Chain A
Amino acid sequence: MSSLLVLAIVIAVGVVAFVIGRQRASAHETGKVKPHSRAHYHGWWAFLLAVLPAVLLLAVWDVGSSFYLDRHIHAALPERTVDSKVASEALDASLVKSLARGLRRLDGGTALPATFAELQPLLAAKGVALASDTQDYMIPIAVEANTVQDRLGLFGAVLTFALSIAGAFYALRQIAPRARARNNVEKLMLWGLLAASTIAILTTVGIVLSMLFQTITFFESVSPMSFFFGTVWDPRFAAAGSGGSQGQFGLIPLLAGTLYIAAVALLVAVPVGLMSAVYMSEYASRSVRSVVKPALELLAGIPTIVYGIFAVVTLGPFLRDLSAALTGGSPFIQGQSIFTAGLVMGVMLIPVVSSLSDDIITAVPRAMRDGSLGLGATRSETIKRVILPAALPGIVGAILLTASRAIGETMIVVLAAGVAANLTINPFEAMTTITVKIVNQLTGDLEFNSPQTLVAFALGLTLFALTLVMNIVALYIVRKYREQYE
């Protein structure tokens, strides 16, 4: 019996419990004693008691039985010898499992053939494609595994069903005028809310743990020293021999490219974004604001892939041809370059800077502005000498947040920055970044245990740590600053 069907039955029991519970409770509402809870709370309590424990049991049972089945199959497999035809025991077991899944599609009535050669066409007729190295000895094991699974599934279903009924009966017996059904339901709801809010923590823990494990595996084959301080990035040849892996996974060129492109982007985004925020909050009339602000927000709403494509299809070739025309021959700006990627990323970040600093500038108290203007300063003097210095910590925080966006940005650099891991100071050449390499190492066919794949997680962890520090410092500054004027 499939878990989904059991789940549906349990929910059906819950619904029935709800209806009965509400009916019983509403019978009390006309009685002499004033009931503690409204009738539908009694119904909900019955529903929750019928469903929640049963679903919990079902989940535990499912996980447990799949573990049990795994061990069962492993135990039933023949001892591994030198002439085993299947490469590893794990592969052996997975072949049995897919065979068992395939056998379920066959009609029960027909007798099973003993060899895989005869079985394969039968399965193929049902649309089941199996690996050709499935062995004959696996067929009885697969059949056995299926019966065990059926038995476990049935047992689990019966247990779940029984628990569900028991829960429903228990709740229904409790119904009385003074029973505190509402408090019970609300307590459970509160736990649900709490659980939802811990998902943020779970996500962070998941991110850190998943990347940490892969990174540790990666550092088993490549030393951390050569990763963090290596200046050569050339992962392709590292797998062939362990001797050649020294220095091939060097982080330095990627980190340099990341920081360089982010710096160019900030050089564009910070002055432009800051000036537009100042203009919008201090000078612009209402009507200008109501047009320009949504337009800048539009800039923020455009997906980064669109920026990347604009950089690589339009801006890159344009700059290349422009530079060729300027020198009258060979272009000094390459089609994919730090400058192009940084420029486009900078434009993408303009609305980020401007909306963050807009908030901060408007948070400067009115009294400071009025004081400065009253002493005879012009508006620009007020802005330069009073407002911006007062807002400076917040603006620094905003710039840090923007920088962390720039470092983690992926699609623009994947398309516009190039893939060659150069170390250069010429902004018109191509350089690559951490994010580009993560994407490069993980797209296409991949084998999970090679250092070429695992290095992506080491890069990811580096990126995460880098942005985490910047975010926390920035958030701290912004928060501190906000409190200052509240």
Chain B
Amino acid sequence: MTDISMDTMAGAVARPRRDIGLKARYAAERRFRIYGVIAISVGLAFLAIMLITIVSKGYTAFWQTTVTLPITFDEKVIDPSGKRATDPNVLVKANYPKLAENALVAKLGIDPANKPMMLKLKGFLSEGARVQLRDIVSADPSVIGTTRDVNILAAANLDSAFKGQIDLSVDEARRKVSNQQIDWMNKLKADGVMAEHFNTGLFSYGASSRPETSGMGVAIIGSFYMMVIVLLLALPIGVAASIYLEEFAKKNRFTDLIEVNINNLAAVPSIVFGLLGLAVFINFLGMPRSASFVGGLVLTLMTLPTIIIATRAALAAVPPSIRSAALGLGASKMQMVFHHILPLAAPGILTGTIIGLARALGETAPLLLIGMVAFVADYPTTPFDPATALPVQIYMWANEAERAFVERMSGAIIILLVFLMAMNITAIVLRRRFERRW
């Protein structure tokens, strides 16, 4: 308002300013800025939401409910006919879950003759108790007849209930944990017998049909093998190829062809590399399916372009004066490259390699095609044994229906992201610390 009155007053003296729409233009400027801020916030908000939902779903996977029970290794249950000295199968096939059940019954003070109550007890403890107790007995058969405290895993449903993830207001018939089991759980919790512990099994178990005994042990080993193979193959080959293209190759048709190829391979969908692996490595060369060796080869081919592009940029960043100085002092071209250029470009190469490795670690699609979607319970001893990989394990858990698997899956994602974050941060630190501006 005051502006207008000022204008009319001053109008008599000075000519009015020509209206060039400044106001509208500044408003447009502000709007444009706001669009930019909105765009960035959308990206960051999505990142935040995604990380928060995954962490909130997954952090409980790092804890596992166990029941500490005084297990009596009753000879009557393990070896009723007394033949274990002659027949080793007796100790393998014995009814170990019964031992755990007996201990639980004693602890809860249930009458073993009460059939309905005993039925409700089914599914309280994990079936994994069988393996756990069998391992104890076969490691030391002399425990038979004695009593010792053992941490038995609770079944997945009880584990969820213990963590408060099961909605108890739902009608009893429609949830997987009965009221009786909840009562027992609270009783054991009050006694301090049932408690949460850090879930080491998540890192050590292999595949299993039960959530509480399934883990990422096999996947971690498989991914480790693959990363080693990628590093051993892709780094030397990529560096050699870049050196040739950057320092030696003459500009001709052939070099052009290679360059177009590399740039294109960097943009080829990863699943195509999986098809290549299936057709060439498995079908044509007869390599084993599901083996981390084949996975490593496929990922190597996929990572090579990334490493080559990064290495070439690092080599090109070394100033020509270094080259001239080395050549001027009588070094051969090969000596110039390997004694002077390569060491100076090393931080850049390393950064590119780490970023390439991180991409390879998170890659899933090509591994699905070469049979890494496999139920592997035993650790692979060599890269030629069947194995899975971290992201593939996540994918397999995503296809399971039970909610306890979703929890494990989110936990596995957290672990994968931590690995990737560590690699990326290493790359950034390396770049910051060793990067030279010429």
B-binding residues in A (CB < 8 A): 182, 186, 189-190, 192-194, 196-201, 203-204, 206-207, 210-211, 213-214, 271-276, 278-280, 283, 292, 294-299, 301-310, 312-314, 347, 350-351, 354, 378-381, 383-384, 401, 404-405, 407-411, 414-415, 435, 438-439, 442-443, 448, 456-457, 460, 463-464, 467-468, 471-472, 474-475
Contacts and interface: CB of A to CB of B under 8 A. Distances in A.
B334 A303 contact: no
Interface stretch (B40-48, B92-100, B198-206, B345-353): B40-48
Contacts of B270: 408, 410
Given A196-B241, A408-B270, A457-B279, A379 B29 contact: yes
A312 B398 contact: yes
A10 B9 CA distance: 102
B304 A193 contact: no
A338 B332 CA distance: 59
A408 B272 contact: yes
A187 B364 CA distance: 40
Contacts of B334: 186, 189-190
B318 interface: no
A201 B264 contact: no
Nearest to B242: A197
Contact of B264 (A278, A460, A475): A475
A460 B271 contact: yes
Interface stretch (B65-73, B105-113, B157-165, B254-262): B254-262
Interface in B256-287: 257-258, 260-265, 267-276, 278-280, 283-284
Q: For the side of the interface on B, what is the size category? A: 35 or more
Interface in B338-377: 358, 361-365, 368-369, 373
B6 interface: no
B32 A350 contact: no
Given A198-B258, A276-B36, A408-B271, A303 B279 contact: no
Contacts of A310: 50, 53-54
B373 A443 contact: yes
B264 A301 contact: no
Contacts of B416: 303, 306
Residue from B36, B406, B428 whose CB has the most chain A CB atoms within 10 Å: B36
A467 B32 CA distance: 34
Contacts of B267: 401, 404-405, 467, 471, 474-475
A186 B335 CA distance: 9
Contact of A203 (B301, B391, B417): B301
B29 A380 contact: yes
Given A204-B261, A378-B28, A347 B362 contact: no
Contact of B40 (A210, A279, A303, A474): A279
Given A203-B276, A303-B362, A313-B398, 6 more contacts: A206-B276, A207-B276, A309-B398, A415-B395, A442-B275, A448-B283
Contacts of A379: 29, 32
B288 to A, nearest CB: 14
Interface stretch (B114-122, B129-137, B244-252): B244-252
Judged by DSSP, the binding face of A is helix
Contact of B398 (A294, A303, A415, A471): A415
B237 interface: yes
Lowest 3 A-B CB distances belong to which pairs?
Answer: A408-B269, A303-B362, A279-B36
B25 interface: yes
A346 to B, nearest CB: 10
B271 A271 contact: no
A379 B30 CA distance: 10
A181 B425 CA distance: 44
A428 B418 CA distance: 34
B28 A411 contact: no
16 contacts: A186-B334, A192-B240, A207-B273, A275-B38, A275-B39, A283-B33, A301-B420, A304-B365, A306-B54, A408-B271, A415-B398, A438-B271, A438-B369, A443-B373, A467-B267, A468-B264
Contact of A190 (B47, B248, B428): B248
